[in-house]
Structure 1
Amino acid sequence: MVGAADRARRLAGLDRERVTAAAVRLLDAEGPARFSMRRLAAELNVTAMSVYWYVDTKDELLELALDAVFGELELPEPESEADWRDRLRGLATGYRAMLVRHPWVSALIGNPVDVGPCSAAFSACVRRVAADTGIPPYGQVGAVSAVFQFVYGAQFAGAESGERDSEFALDLLIAGIEAMVARSGR
C-alpha cells in the first residue's frame, strides 16, 4: 500500500513547494473564502488526500502560503550601510506591493501567527531598522507599527495618484520618526 502511494506521489510530481505555490496562485485568483483543499487538489490534478502527504492541515498550508509571499520581499542586508530612512521606505514599499499583488494576505496576516522563516526574517529586519532610527527603545515598536499599520490599512490602488499619495504619507511618517528622534535629543 505504501509503495503505491509513493509511486502516485512521484508520478504527480508533487512536493511541498509545488503545493504551496499552487495554493498561492489559487488564493491570488479566488481569495481565502473560496480556498479549499479540494479546490487545490483539482488545480494540481490530484486527489484531495494527496495534498495531505505534504501538509497536515489547511491552516498549515495557509501558513506556508503566507510565508512564501513574505519570501518575495527584498530585505536589506543586516550590515547594510544604507540610511535607515531608505531601508524603512524600501521595506514599507515592498510590503505594500506584496499586499497589492496578494490581496488575500490582509485577511490572513497575524491569523495564524506569522511564524515562518520568511516572516521571521522580515520582522527581524524591521526591528534592526527600528533600532537604527535613533528612537529610544521604548518607542521603536510604536514607530514601525505606525508605518506598517498605515501600509496595511491604506492599500491604495495601483493608480499613479494612489502611489503618489502612499509615498507622501510614508514620507510624513518617516518625518514624524525623525521629529521624535530630535525631540528625544538623540
Structure 2
Amino acid sequence: MAAKGQPYPSVWARPERRRREQPALSREQIVAEALAILDAEGLEALSMRKLGTRLNAGATSMYSHVTNKDELIELVLDEVYGEIRIPLPEGPDGWREAARSSAHAVRAAVLRHPWMASVLGDIALASLGPNVLRMSEDMLTLFETSGFTPEHAGTAMNTLIAFVMGGTLSEAAWLAGLARSDQDEEQWMARMMPAAEAAVLPYPRVRRQFDALKETGSEQSRGSEFDLGLDVLLDGLALLRTPAAG
C-alpha cells in the first residue's frame, strides 16, 4: 500500500526521508544482510524483526530506509539485477551471441537466488529499480545497434526475458523446494524413481522422456533444454531484423 503522498506503491517512488542525523545503518548494509538471509534460508525466514536482530539495529535505523518487507524485497531484487551484465554485440552479426550471453546471465542470477521464484510474479517489485532499468536500457541497446527497429527491439527484449523467466522460475522453485527438503537432486531422484517409473508405464511417449532424463540427469537436462529453446527463440527473433542488417 502506498504511503501518504506516494503516487505508486514502490520504494523507488517514495520521496526520500529527510534525516536530521546520519543513521546508524546504511541502505547497503540492510540490503546485503537481507540478501544473505534470503539466500541461506528462503523468503519465509525474512522478517523486519529478524533482520534488525541480525544487524543489531533498532527500528529507527531500519525504518529510515524501508517502511515494510515489500520495500525491502524491492531493494534486494534490484541488488540481484545489479549482478547481470548485458554485453554489446561484437560486429554486425554478434547480436545473437550477445543475446545468448544475456539470457544465460539472467538465468544464472535467478538460480543463484532461487527465492526469487516466490516474488517475481509481482511486476511492481522489480519495475522501477535503477539496476533493472539499466539492464533494460543495455538490452535495448544490444538489439537497436544490431538492426532491430526500436519497436522490434522492445519486442525482442520482452520475448527473451519472458522465455528466460518462464523456464528459470520453475527451476528456481524446484531448487528452493530441494533446499527446504535438505536433499540434493540425486537423493530426491533416487527416492522418487520407483514411483515415477510405475506411473509412466502406460504412457510410452512420457516414458521415453523420463528415460532420457534418467540418462542425462536433471541438472544437465534443464541446461540442454534451455539452450535448445534459446536457439529456437533467437532464430525467430532474427526475422525481426531489418534486411540491411543481414
> Does the pair score TM above 0.5?
yes
Deviation at 1:7, TM superposition (A): 9.8
**Does the 8 Å contact 1:135/1:177 carry over to 2?**
no
Residue of structure 1 aligned with 2:227, choices 150, 162, 167: 167
Partner residue, 2:243: 185
**Does the 8 Å contact 1:41/1:51 carry over to 2?**
yes
- Are 1:93 and 2:69 matched, yes or no? no
Q: Which runs of 5+ in 1 are unaligned?
A: 1-5
1:74-95: per-residue Cα shift (whole Å, max 9, x none)?
Answer: 2325xx5351112111111000
Inter-CA distance 95–7: structure 2 relative to 1 (3 Å threshold): closer
Deviation at 1:48, TM superposition (A): 4.1
1:53-85: per-residue Cα shift (whole Å, max 9, x none)?
Answer: 3334333322211111111112325xx535111
Q: CA separation in 2, counterparts of 1:7 and 1:102? A: 31
Q: CA separation in 1, counterparts of 2:23 and 2:84? A: 35
Amino acid at match of 2:237: I
Q: CA separation in 2, counterparts of 1:37 and 1:125? A: 34
Q: CA separation in 2, counterparts of 1:49 and 1:115? A: 25
Instruction: Give the alignment of 1:121-160 within 5 angstroms.
Output: 121-155=134-168, 156=171, 159-160=219-220
1:162-183: per-residue Cα shift (whole Å, max 9, x none)?
Answer: 11211111111111112343xx
Partner residue, 2:52: 41
Deviation at 1:138, TM superposition (A): 3.2
Q: CA separation in 2, counterparts of 1:31 and 1:133? A: 40
**Does the 8 Å contact 1:28/1:102 carry over to 2?**
yes
Judge which range, 107-116 or 95-104, deviates more.
107-116
Deviation at 1:121, TM superposition (A): 0.8
- Are 1:114 and 2:127 matched, yes or no? yes
Inter-CA distance 101–113: structure 2 relative to 1 (3 Å threshold): closer
| Equivalences, count | 174
Inter-CA distance 87–7: structure 2 relative to 1 (3 Å threshold): closer
Inter-CA distance 7–132: structure 2 relative to 1 (3 Å threshold): closer
**Does the 8 Å contact 2:78/2:131 carry over to 1?**
yes
* Structure having the higher Rg: 2
Q: CA separation in 2, counterparts of 1:170 and 1:33? A: 32
Amino acid at match of 2:145: D
SS of 1:55's equivalent in the other structure is coil
Inter-CA distance 103–111: structure 2 relative to 1 (3 Å threshold): farther
Partner residue, 1:3: none
After TM superposition, what 4+ stretches of structure 1 lie above 6 angstroms from structure 2? none
Inter-CA distance 27–111: structure 2 relative to 1 (3 Å threshold): farther
Deviation at 1:125, TM superposition (A): 0.8
Deviation at 1:49, TM superposition (A): 4.1
- Are 1:32 and 2:43 matched, yes or no? yes
Inter-CA distance 136–53: structure 2 relative to 1 (3 Å threshold): closer
